[in-house]
Amino acid sequence: MASLREWVEILWEFLKLKPPVQRPFNRDTLKTVSSEVPIILLVGRTGSGKSSFVKSLTDQNVLVFHEENPCTMNCEVYTVKVDFDGTSKVFVLIDTPGLQGLDSKETNLKVLEKIAATLNDVRDLELKLAGAIFFHNIAGNKRFTSALDIFAAMCGKEFRDSKQVAFLTTQWDSISSEKSVISKYGGYHEEIGRRIKNLYPEWPVFARERDDAASCKKVLEHFSDLTRSGDSLSRFALLEEWRSGKEDIRETSAGRKVLGLV
């Protein structure tokens, strides 16, 4: 007969083995969405805070990066409800697998493939892409240009040169325990802002001081204010090029950027 302690251990093992709550397939989530709901693509290196951004806005089970779970290898589609001064607004966020350095060609191509396939579902269901956010973890690798170049190629000139793209720096709290870290590190924040403005003058630059919902809302507010005219997805280069190139990701501008061909 097992002792109480052994029973507790058996129960604990059982709980640990319990599979996480199944989320609907991305396409099933998208089928529930009306065409008015802004859909936003989240892109950046692994560990840049994409999944945490979603997690701070929802009770759903969101996989965030840690040692046992190094990276999400699939796009995940989430519907989130955000409250703006008493009015709630629904957004769809597409969490994507992390881009890697330029030497991880195969991984980066896989990431592009997953993004193209998910956006193709969005297009099939006649939904529109309201925008894309590029994430940069300021406490991590300061050189973000390779992932940013891949992202820029993915968007294509027309989409990229619009206000539909935002640049978001994250995890300011991890470099300082002081309150109001942005004001302390404001110099660096402004420097990034200047660099981005030189490259892509239309993009707003936001900062997440800490992993909270308020900083996510500020960013999403930008997209909810945009008047979405026309079919923005047809201007998103990765999807258009992928479709016209018989679904060969290597033939897209972003694929060629990953392969070092441009």
Ligand X SMILES: Nc1nc2c(ncn2[C@@H]2O[C@H](COP(=O)(O)OP(=O)(O)O)[C@@H](O)[C@H]2O)c(=O)[nH]1
Residues that bind ligand X (CB under 6 A): 44, 46-52, 64-66, 98, 135, 170-171, 173-174, 208, 210-211
Q: Minimum distance from CB of 258 to ligand X (Å)?
A: 18
The CB-nearest residue to Mg ion is: 51
Q: Residue by residue, what is the 3-state secondary structure of 102-126?
A: CCCHHHHHHHHHHHHHHHHHHHHCC
| CB contact at 8 A, 42 and 33 | no
| CB contact at 8 A, 82 and 91 | yes
Q: Does 51 bind Mg ion (CB under 5 A)?
A: yes
| CB contact at 8 A, 49 and 134 | no
CB closer to Mg ion out of 51 and 100? 51
CB closer to Mg ion out of 51 and 146? 51
What is the SS3 assignment for 251? Answer: helix
Q: Minimum distance from CB of 49 to ligand X (Å)?
A: 4
Q: Minimum distance from CB of 99 to ligand X (Å)?
A: 9
The item of Mg ion, ligand X, none sharing an interface with residue 52, based on CB under 5 to 8 Å by kind, is ligand X
Q: b or e along 97-111 (b: 16 or more beta carbons within 10 Å of the residue's beta carbon)?
A: bbbbebebeebbbbb
The item of ligand X, Mg ion, none sharing an interface with residue 66, based on CB under 5 to 8 Å by kind, is ligand X
Q: Does 107 bind Mg ion (CB under 5 A)?
A: no
Q: Quick one: tokens of 187?
A: 């110099």
CA separation for the pair 36, 221 (Å, rounded) = 15
Residues 53-92 that bind Mg ion (CB under 5 A): 72
- Contact residues for Mg ion, defined by CB under 5 A: 50-51, 72
